[in-house]
């Protein structure tokens, strides 16, 4: 190919040079040919790219097709039921609900419903009237002075820096209109979060927004921000599903001067949050730290988020809670299928337990130790449709968080460029030209409608199953219900046998009802 390049292009360039003397109008074509020749000769002598060395000009086609392959896959090859992590059908229903359009589908299901992986709801021949009020639940245990009335569906953790300023503002304004909460992510509270919507302030290993110059936890800085009226709850992030055991990652190109100022970092440097917390190193210190955060925040609900890995460590946490008589107000369970803006592939693909068995395990563990009624379980991990929302509640969660669902409501097209700063819709980028394309005035309404219409659809499904309340949801409403029950045996084969020595509880697989309403501070 190298000889072919020289044998064909060189004579063409020489011929063009001769003809240009007779026909000056060919000068631009000659210049183009000379540029291509120069590029080809450079590639022949460079040693960095083997393909370009062997194919000096046409080798660039490989990089071009690689660049546009996600678009080709999504728009020309992918079927409606294909697409990872979300199919075209699921993305479409998110778009329709966020635009407040009728989310209907023609001609019947496109799924292979005889497939063993098919999940369906067991409807009742005696449907009940649809619940009239959007579902809410009280979060706050015995030591909580300011319990919070939360929507059952909320915005999951996404930091400013990972998301653009306009995206954060649209999410918060949508949360304000719909009366649901907006989790800040571990990047701290920015001015863009302060649009009036309820906030759950997430504290990660970097302690952004409440850190000393050395990167450790700063109690006074935390106290000041935690007592803001917009902050309704505090979430301590131990790990997240997309990269459990790995600290948060913010590419240098997205670490702008404003982002760095909020986080207390050097601008335009790669941000790698530590893998571990410095404020605690064992179960006892962790549970005591939860109590400290609750005290510093003047009694607001405090909990922690984790992706389950070693089950013995979570069991130790349960034992320590009872030993110290200190309980978090909530536990957020993330699955290995959770989303992120940037993650090492091995962590995304090979670390952590999926949400379904993890959620069952956490629910069972809390019941076995007699503390399930002392706290709430929040779940995050691929909650998008009304059916997935009900499934997560049936597996033991009280509240669901969604990140990518609300990203779709902002206009995300699953371009898979979150880590490049080149998000074409202005959602996951700090490029000012791209951010301008996301109109806050329009997207805030889409955030609101996605939340509203997803809950309304779930209420319709609930009524079709003959359930009068979200408190009545249990695994038996799903056709894979029996299989769900055995998931714990697949992932934790000795788990139930070990707990037989502690206490036998026949209600293991049933939802725990809500506690009586308490005085709520909104």
Instruction: Please give the pLDDT value at position 420.
Output: 82
CB 154 within 8 A of CB 450: no
Distance CA 131, CA 462 (A): 8
CB atoms within 10 A of CB 400: 24
Instruction: Please give the pLDDT value at position 121.
Output: 85
| Residue of 108 and 238 predicted with greater confidence | 238
Q: Which two tokens stand for residue 396?
A: 């033991």
Confidence category of residue 189, pLDDT binned at 50, 70, 90: very high
Indicate whether 145 pLDDT > 60.
yes
Residues 6+ apart with CB under 8 A from 143: 291, 294, 299, 326, 327
Averaged pLDDT, 170-174: 97
| Nearest Cα residue to 308 out of 260, 259, 369, 356 | 356
User: pLDDT tens-digit profile of 147-161?
Assistant: 999 999 999 999 998
CB 320 within 8 A of CB 312: no
Indicate whether 506 pLDDT > 50.
no
Instruction: Please give the pLDDT value at position 516.
Output: 40
What is the percent of the chain with per-residue pLDDT over 70, rounded to a whole number? 82
Distance CA 5, CA 216 (A): 60
Confidence category of residue 498, pLDDT binned at 50, 70, 90: low
Distance CA 110, CA 112 (A): 7
Q: What is the mean pLDDT of the chain?
A: 83
| Residue of 109 and 198 predicted with greater confidence | 198
Strand-strand pairing, 136-139 and 148-151 = antiparallel
Instruction: Please give the pLDDT value at position 50.
Output: 80
What b/e sequence results for 98-117 when a residue is b if at least 16 CB atoms lie within 10 Å of its CB, and e otherwise?
beeeebeeeeeeeeeeeeee
Indicate whether 246 pLDDT > 90.
no
Confidence category of residue 237, pLDDT binned at 50, 70, 90: very high
| Residue of 42 and 511 predicted with greater confidence | 42
Global pTM exceeds 0.85: no
Burial class (CB in 10 A: 0-12, 13-18, 19+), 274: middle
CB 330 within 8 A of CB 300: no
Indicate whether 504 pLDDT > 70.
no
User: pLDDT tens-digit profile of 23-73?
Assistant: 777 777 778 777 877 877 887 888 888 878 778 877 888 878 777 776 677
Averaged pLDDT, 251-264: 83
Averaged pLDDT, 260-270: 83
Averaged pLDDT, 332-354: 74
Confidence category of residue 1, pLDDT binned at 50, 70, 90: low
Distance CA 248, CA 246 (A): 7
Distance CA 184, CA 101 (A): 29
Indicate whether 223 pLDDT > 90.
yes
Distances (CA, A) of 82 to 77, 110, 376: 9, 11, 34
User: pLDDT tens-digit profile of 299-331?
Assistant: 999 999 998 988 889 999 999 999 999 999 999
Indicate whether 512 pLDDT > 50.
no
């Amino acid at each position: 190919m190298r000889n072919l390049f020289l044998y064909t292009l060189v004579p063409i360039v020489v011929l063009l040079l001769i003809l240009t003397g007779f026909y000056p109008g060919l000068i631009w074509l000659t210049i183009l040919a000379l540029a291509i020749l120069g590029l080809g000769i450079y590639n022949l002598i460079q040693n960095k790219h083997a393909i370009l060395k062997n194919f000096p000009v046409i080798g660039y086609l490989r990089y071009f097709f690689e660049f546009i392959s996600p678009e080709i896959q999504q728009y020309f090859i992918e079927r409606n039921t294909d697409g990872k992590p979300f199919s075209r059908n699921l993305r479409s229903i998110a778009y329709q609900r966020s635009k407040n359009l009728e989310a209907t589908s023609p001609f019947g299901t496109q799924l292979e419903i005889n497939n063993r992986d098919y999940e369906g709801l067991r409807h009742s021949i005696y449907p009940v009237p649809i619940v009239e009020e959007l579902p809410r639940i009280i979060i706050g245990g015995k030591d909580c002075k300011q319990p919070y009335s939360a929507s059952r569906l909320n915005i999951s953790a996404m930091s400013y820096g990972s998301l653009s300023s306009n995206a954060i503002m649209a999410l918060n304004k949508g949360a304000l209109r719909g009366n649901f909460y907006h989790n800040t992510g571990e990047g701290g509270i920015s001015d863009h979060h302060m649009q009036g919507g309820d906030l759950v302030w997430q504290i990660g290993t970097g302690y952004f927004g409440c850190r000393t110059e050395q990167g450790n936890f700063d109690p006074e800085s935390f106290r000041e921000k935690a007592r803001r009226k917009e902050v309704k709850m505090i979430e301590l992030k131990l790990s997240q599903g997309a990269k459990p055991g790995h600290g948060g990652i913010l590419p240098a190109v997205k670490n702008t001067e404003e982002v760095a100022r909020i986080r207390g970092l050097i601008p335009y440097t790669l941000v790698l949050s530590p893998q571990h917390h410095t404020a605690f190193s064992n179960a006892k210190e962790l549970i005591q730290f939860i109590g400290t955060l609750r005290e510093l925040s003047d009694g607001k609900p405090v909990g922690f988020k984790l992706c389950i890995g070693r089950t013995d460590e979570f069991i130790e946490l349960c034992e320590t809670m009872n030993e110290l008589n200190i309980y978090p107000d909530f536990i957020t369970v993330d699955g290995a299928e959770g989303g992120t803006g940037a993650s090492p592939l091995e962590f995304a693909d090979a670390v952590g337990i999926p949400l379904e068995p993890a959620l069952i395990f956490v629910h069972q563990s809390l019941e076995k130790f007699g503390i399930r009624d002392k706290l709430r379980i929040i779940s995050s991990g691929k909650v998008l449709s009304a059916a997935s929302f009900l499934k997560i509640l049936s597996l033991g969660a009280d509240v669901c968080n969604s990140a990518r669902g609300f990203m779709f409501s902002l206009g995300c097209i699953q371009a898979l460029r979150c880590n490049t700063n080149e998000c074409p819709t202005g959602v996951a980028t700090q490029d000012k030209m791209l951010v301008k394309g996301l109109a806050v005035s329009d997207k805030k309404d889409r955030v609101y409608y996605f939340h509203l219409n997803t809950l309304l659809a779930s209420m319709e499904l609930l009524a079709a199953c003959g359930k009068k309340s979200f408190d009545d949801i249990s695994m038996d409403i799903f056709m894979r219900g029996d299989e769900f029950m055995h998931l714990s045996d697949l992932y934790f084969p000795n788990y139930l046998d070990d707990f037989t020595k502690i206490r036998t509880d026949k209600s293991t697989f049933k939802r725990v009802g809500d506690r009586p309403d308490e005085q709520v501070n909104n």
